[in-house]
Amino acid sequence: MGKDVIIACDFANAEETIRFLDKFNKIRDEVVRCDDISVRVSRPYVKIGMELFYAEGPQIIKTLKERGHKVFLDLKVHDIPNTVKKTMKVLGAYGVDMVNVHAAGGIEMMKAAKEGLMLGSARFAEKPKLIAVTQLTSTDEATMHKELLIELPLPEVVKQYALNAKAAGLDGVVCSAHEAAEIHMACGPDFLTVTPGIRLAGDSAGDQKRVMTPADARDEGADYIVVGRSITAESKPIDAYQRCRADFIL
Ligand code: C5P
């Protein structure tokens, strides 16, 4: 299974996003040296979140796909099953590579999401991956106990949500890299773990509570790491991206 680094393009609009991604043009399909290791870099896999999608609409997906990027559309859909099914049918037709729902919506909702997504993406040979958010990486156990009134330990909750996602026929989950190994043990090695909350050593955690470096995420068996500010807020984002790839993939 291909591991990859997904850049979280948390920008306000298309112009800012394209200006940022243009920096990567010069390394397209080149083999670059990073810490004496050769790394093949093509157009980065990107993640579009709510801010950018709600500002720009589906055109931003079309633009990024035409530029050769794989696109993870991170809208964290969460509603009644009927609404989710119809929503996912719309999203599937955009040609995204990955999309997600909240596991907290339950198995019936996740099954409906999958049905809708398959209907919407029927014309594409490669079907989009559908994954479920377990607990946000900005949520820690204390918040979960005190505010969400979920009394079980966080790893148990995450594991159960992952098992629910698997039972609903989803491809994997969004989780913290801290939970990736446990989830693979419970749900099998092919069940994807997509892990945000990644920081290069020395970077600030910001609002994330459960962070990990790319190398540690690799050791935990994460399949994809989602990296935002540790790349986008850097003065040398290409170097940061290459470092993430070198640490995570090799
Ligand atoms: O800048 P940073 O690396 O913290 O960005 C992480 C990205 O991953 C953000 O776009 C955030 O919305 C997303 N995300 C997350 N935790 C989840 C799911 C998605 O941080 N559970």
- Count of domains for the chain: 1
Check the CA dihedral 224-79-144-209 and report its sign: positive
> Ligand 1: residues within 6 Å at CB?
8, 10, 49, 74, 133, 136-137, 174, 196-198, 206, 208, 226-230
**Is 114 annotated in the active site?**
no
**Full-prediction pTM beyond 0.85?**
yes
Domain of residue 39 covers: 4-249
Report the percentage of the chain scoring pLDDT > 90: 84
- Which residue out of 76, 86, 111, 209 is catalytically annotated? 76
For residue 225, the CA-to-ligand 1 centroid distance in Å is 10
User: What is the CATH classification number for the domain harbouring 108?
Assistant: 3.20.20.70
Beta carbons of 153 and 178 less than 8 angstroms apart:
no
| pLDDT per position as a tens digit, 120-152 | 999 999 999 999 999 888 889 999 999 999 999
Beta carbons of 148 and 117 less than 8 angstroms apart:
no
11: closest CA among 233, 224, 245?
Answer: 233
CA dist 248 and 40 (Å) reads: 13
For residue 176, the CA-to-ligand 1 centroid distance in Å is 10
